[in-house]
Amino acid sequence: MMMPLLPRTPSPSRAAALAATVLCAMLTLAGCTNLAPHYDRPTAPVPASLDNTATAPDAGGAYAPLGWEAVVQSGPLRELIALSLQNNRDLRAAALAIERAQAQYGVSRADRLPAVNGSAQGSRARTAADLTTTGRSQISEQYSAQLGISSYELDFFGRVRNLNEAAWQEVLRTTDNQRSVQLSLVAEVTNAWLTLAADQARLALARETLRSREASYALTERTHRLGATSGLVLAQNQTTVETARADVAAYTSQVARDRNALQLLVGSPVPPALLPPAEQAAPALQLLAVPAQIPSSVLLSRPDVMAAERSLQATYANIGAARAAFFPSISLTASLGTASNELSGLFSGGNTIWSFVPQIRLPIFDGGRNQANLEVAEANQRIALAQYEKVIQTAFREAADALAERATLADRLAAQSALLAATERVYTLSDARFKAGADSYLAVLDAQRSLYAAQQTLLSLQLAEQVNRITLYKVLGGG
């Protein structure tokens, strides 16, 4: 009768080679299946193009975005924007959020690779004489050193890989969010700088008006003492002086608040040389060349739209991870090392130890947990889709509103300039008629108020025209 052949214990080199071969084969097979739904960019729920024919009826060609350096023409404003990009705390927090997302992605990416740990241990124990067969106490020693892989999941159904993809989309989302914060910061600093310039002009106008009305009041007061002017005219003249004085105080306070707002946006004290000059002779911003028809696809490059799309793509990966929970999961624990009862013989031949413990887990009953998790992931995907579409619709409206504003600004400025010229003539004629005794001072007072209001309105329209330029830069996605 033949004795059965006993399996040979593999040598250390053969055991290591076998373990490495098995591990490589499993790593190759892992991740071959991806249960995440295929992502296709949703159709934008907006018209195919933005209509700009009212502003540029004959303009053709494609829209070419410009960087803020090309849009901003004022040297001090350029330096101020550059300073804000260095010191603004919101932008700094957005950049730190990218670092956090990248670190989190590193944690997720590490789950795709086995964690190899090395360990070494030694023990020394004394056994009492009464517990030994020889009747004498014994001292035993044991030493070991090994490398091991503990509970490494073989990602056959893409669960770990999809979680890793979701983490990567979060990195991209925070990057797009940082770009969005930077774009908004450029626009906000520009708007704050332009608002400060306009309020300085309003303050200068109020001061000039106050000086003029004080001089007129002083003259009226002298004529009143001589009996050539009634007390009513003097009182009416005084109301114009006090109104101008109140405006000077209000605009002085507003200019101070504008400077505080600008300093907060910049994130550091604003050098006086970078503040707007007392008189802005030329426009601070260049007008973007916008063709008559702008494809709506331009809006897909806006950083806020791109960030919303990254969130949507992450939900697809989460669905894949939730689906993988319905399938068996396979984990691997293995170790290879050497052991001896003497430290000097730890690395001697024949002392190799190894273990290979694959484990499979098959979900049988979980009370509907996996199905509920899948439904949550699918609901999050539908929510993200609705939010993505809403962001696109909001972007379209903002761009359409900016273009609609641009279409009428030139006519409004021309009309307001003509109105200002007309009110100046009315004031000159009313003052001449009053001095000639042909009219009451009430007509002069009304002409003064109309002239002052027309001047303030023109300053507001000039500010609106400049703000519209930076708004167009922002809503079309910057450069």
The count of C-alpha atoms lying within 13 angstroms of the C-alpha of 436, restricted to the half-sphere facing its C-beta, is: 8
Place of tokens 């956090």: 100
Which residue type, as a one-letter code, is found at position 400?
A: A
Architecture, CATH, for domain 34-114+173-327+385-475: Up-down Bundle (1.20)
**Is the pLDDT assigned to residue 330 strictly greater than 90?**
no
Residues 6+ apart with CB under 8 A from 91: 84, 85, 178, 181, 182, 185
**Is the pLDDT assigned to residue 29 strictly greater than 80?**
no
Phi, psi of 151 (to 5 degrees): 50, 50
CA-to-CA separations, 228 to 37, 238, 436, 437, in angstroms, rounded: 91, 17, 12, 11
Kindly state the tokens that stand for 388. 């993505």
Kindly state the tokens that stand for 232. 């009513």
CA-to-CA separations, 93 to 88, 100, 241, 309, 402, in angstroms, rounded: 9, 10, 49, 22, 29
Do 194 and 465 touch, CB atoms closer than 8 A? no
Which residue type, as a one-letter code, is found at position 51?
A: D
Burial 19-42 (b: 16+ CB within 10 A, else e): beeebeebbeebbeebbbeeeeee
- Report which secondary-structure segment, H or E, holds 453: helix 441-475
Task: Indicate the average pLDDT of the chain.
Answer: 87
**Is the pLDDT assigned to residue 422 strictly greater than 80?**
yes
State the pLDDT at residue 1.
Answer: 38
Higher pLDDT pick, 352 / 263: 263
Kindly state the tokens that stand for 346. 């730890």
Residues 6+ apart with CB under 8 A from 115: 149, 150, 152
With cut-offs at 50, 70 and 90, classify the pLDDT of residue 26.
low
**Is the pLDDT assigned to residue 21 strictly greater than 70?**
no
DSSP 297: G
Kindly state the tokens that stand for 60. 């053709």
CA-to-CA separations, 444 to 137, 283, 423, in angstroms, rounded: 123, 34, 11
Q: How far apart are CA 313 and CA 166, in angstroms?
A: 8
**Is the pLDDT assigned to residue 320 strictly greater than 80?**
yes
State the pLDDT at residue 30.
Answer: 52
State the pLDDT at residue 57.
Answer: 61
Place of tokens 């700088």: 193
Q: Per-domain residue ranges for the chain?
A: 34-114+173-327+385-475
Pairing of strands 116-127, 49-51: unpaired
Do 249 and 210 touch, CB atoms closer than 8 A? no
Give the CA-trace dihedral at 35, 39, 45, 46, to 10 degrees.
Answer: 170
Span 158-199, pLDDT tens digits: 999 999 999 999 999 999 999 999 999 999 999 999 999 999
Residue 124: strand, helix, or coil: strand
**Is the pLDDT assigned to residue 19 strictly greater than 60?**
no
> Residue 203: how many CB atoms within 10 A of its CB?
20
**Is the pLDDT assigned to residue 12 strictly greater than 50?**
no
What is the mean predicted confidence (pLDDT) over 336-354? 77
**Is the pLDDT assigned to residue 292 strictly greater than 70?**
yes
With cut-offs at 50, 70 and 90, classify the pLDDT of residue 327.
very high
Residues 6+ apart with CB under 8 A from 402: 468, 471, 472, 475
Span 103-162, pLDDT tens digits: 999 999 988 888 888 888 888 888 888 878 888 888 888 888 888 888 888 888 999 999
With cut-offs at 50, 70 and 90, classify the pLDDT of residue 17.
low
